[in-house]
Chains A and B, each alone.
Chain A
Amino acid sequence: MKRYSAFAIAREALRHHEGWERAWRSPEPKARYDVVIVGAGGHGLATAYWLGKNHGITNIAVIEKGWLGGGNTGRNTTIIRSNYLQDPSAAIYEKSRSLYETMSQDLNYNVMFSPRGVMMLAQTQHEVRGYRRTAHANALQGVATEFISPQRVKELCPIMNIDGPRYPVLGALWQPRGGTARHDAVAWGYARACSDMGMDIIQKCEVTGIRREGGKVTAVETTKGEIGCGKLGIVVAGHSGELAEMAGFRLPIESVSLQALVSEPIKPCMDVVVMANTVHGYMSQSDKGEMVIGGGADGFNNYTQRGSFHHIEETVRALVETFPMISRLKMLRQWGGIVDMTGDRSPILSKTPVEGVFVNCGWGTGGFKAIPGSGWAMAELMAKGHAPLADAFSLDRFREGRFIDESVAAGVAH
């Protein structure tokens, strides 16, 4: 692989940009791999990447029914933070956030990580107490957050109306090292690095069945034929229920649509990420100048990648009260992604009833931030059978009542 660098740009400028090579190969599948990963979203690709980097396993295929990064990884609003409440969450999300800091260097691919700071507004007394509690928990977990005053909120984000009659801002949970990154670049950067290690990324290839013998996985059936595997990682977000059915088990997951929208681009006016959980809305400004807006998920099972208009209306209506200046913005695009929701709003990284089959799912509305850490933990789980960052998120937690309740931290879709 030719490395990207300032020198490479100069070199290519001098020869009409004819020397750039394709970022990843597009091979036909081999008959068998040591590991097959289903789903070339961020989590699937990061799993493959760390299997190679940390565990020396590179005979891997990542199989994708559409194009890589075309699922939720390319549809999300890219908020990165680690201010969760429970210890297992803090551990995996903080690992992930810290891996984002060095990702561009690690992958030699600019993922535009921008640690601009994330604030979660407290707009009710209940939220004030909740976020103070989270700030204390984060202090014990070594995650740098603080509860800040309304005045500080206004300083950090002057376009905000902090004393609106309905939703006055009473303070905020502030994580200065949170931020955003370029979602496509995360998928592309991992894909390039995986391909460079010799792994095969097979796009436009849908997994349609999972072959087992004696309770153990042997192969996947795909639209490009059968592909044998030693181990199988199912990393398909909203489609986890379908893949689990192919493997003969059920998951505690329901798939619903989550939407986002962006405005026309405007001059820089906001250099932090703001989330308002009471009113179910959040907003940041992209490097192109668009206001990126997200809100609540639909409540009913849905695989259509489009959602109900009234959610958009509710989100925008609420945000206009807190950010009066956006009331005249035109919205350019709106879209949806199918998110995989668990009852305790925490992910599942786990072995399954089928030997050799592992699942990584349940990231729901908030898994972009977790991509590098989740891949790290999933790779260790698949290579060694257990992993410190993953063990608490196993499937038996539902049977055993060991929930990792993040319904407050994940109260709004993000």
Chain B
Amino acid sequence: MLLLTCPACGVAADETELAPGGEAHLTRVGPDGDDASFEGYLFQRANPRGVHFERWRHVYGCGKWFHAARDTATLEVFGTYSAQTTAPPDDILDKIKARRPGWEGNA
């Protein structure tokens, strides 16, 4: 069972309390975007086997969205962080690099 600590309310919630929201930090494309960037934003996903940044919602708790950094190959959780950011914070990146020395970020 996946356990994530909701950064909004501090509760350590197990996954039955949470709803997954897919890949995080996608750049939203507006009306001026071309077809290719719109396709990328709407459909194409990194889907890595390894470090994954993703959105979750604490549905059966405080109801807030948040972010998590997790390894999809081992289910290790590196940490959770606020939804109010467009990139993973440094302390999360440091934790990942400490655990995955060769990791260079998701292309």
Contact = CB atoms under 8 A, between A and B. Distances in A.
A77 to B, nearest CB: 23
Interface stretch (A66-74, A141-149, A287-295, A296-304): A296-304
B74 A250 contact: no
A250 B49 contact: no
B52 A301 contact: yes
Interface residues of B, number: 29
Nearest to B106: A245
A255 B36 CA distance: 22
A399 B43 CA distance: 9
Interface stretch (B5-13, B14-22, B83-91, B97-105): B14-22
A300 B54 contact: yes
A7 interface: no
B42 interface: yes
Contacts of A252: 43-45
A304 B70 CA distance: 13
Interface string B13-51: 001100110110000000000011011101111111100
B47 A255 contact: yes
A241 interface: yes
Contact of B43 (A241, A302, A343): A343
A245 B39 contact: no
B36 A399 contact: yes
A304 B47 contact: no
A303 B72 CA distance: 6
Contact of A241 (B36, B40, B45): B45
Interface residues of A, number: 22
A398 B40 CA distance: 10
Contacts of B2: 300, 308
Interface string A384-411: 0000000000000011000000000000
A238 to B, nearest CB: 9
Nearest to A239: B49
Contact of A398 (B1, B15, B42, B72): B42
A314 to B, nearest CB: 9
A199 B20 CA distance: 43
Contacts of A303: 49, 72-73
B107 A245 contact: yes
B48 A308 contact: no
A250 B41 CA distance: 11
Nearest to A396: B39
A306 to B, nearest CB: 9
A310 interface: yes
9 contacts: A245-B48, A255-B47, A299-B19, A301-B52, A302-B75, A308-B15, A398-B42, A398-B43, A399-B38
Given A251-B45, A254-B23, A300-B20, 18 more contacts: A241-B49, A242-B49, A245-B48, A245-B107, A250-B47, A251-B44, A253-B45, A254-B22, A300-B2, A300-B15, A301-B52, A301-B72, A303-B73, A304-B72, A304-B75, A308-B2, A398-B39, A399-B38
Interface pairs A-B: 5 shortest CB-CB: A241-B47, A252-B43, A250-B44, A300-B20, A299-B20
